[in-house]
Structure 1
């Protein structure tokens, strides 16, 4: 497990939890999914990662990466706070994904 990654995800998560929900995200939904639901699914995965001190089960690892892919498709239509909110979620998913890959290859 990479402590630096865990620390960065912890800091990003604290920032995320203190952020207000950007109103524009209610209008960002499309065939890629409901952003509110994606946010909730990612929250559960990120919380599990942090509670597990950098360990995430395979199912949640897949969920968080799928959610990040959906958010990547929505991101070009967002500006300001909505874009920042979504970018932060995507960044956490990227960090978690890399830490999971590193953990798998070192086992």
Structure 2
């Protein structure tokens, strides 16, 4: 199986895990700097959902926007702890998996 196909399978697996998880209550309404955690999660989820539903990468996914989300995830993970940190580490892994299929 080509590397890109493996990356798509990995992204689908991470997406399935994400859908089974719950957003941590401690992160609701929280901002790190000017980064709203709910919006950050929703932005990554929207891009991943589009890529997974298409069975290929969605043409409207902007790789630069995804890269910017990856940077935001790195920033917020510097300050998060506990369940919030675990949750956003998983979102970060999913974002990086998305970058591999773009």
Structure 2 residue aligned with 1:77: 79
TM-score by length of 1: 0.79
Larger mean Cα displacement after TM superposition, 6-15 or 21-30: 21-30
Length, aligned pairs only: 100
Q: Cα RMSD between the aligned structures?
A: 2.0
TM-score by length of 2: 0.82
Query: Gapped runs of 5+ residues in structure 2?
Result: none
**Runs of at least 4 residues off by over 3 Å:** none
Structure 2 residue aligned with 1:87: 89
Query: Would you say the 8 A contact 2:73–2:92 is kept in 1?
Result: yes
Q: How do 1:2-81 and structure 2 match up within 5 A?
A: 2-26=4-28, 28-57=30-59, 59-81=61-83
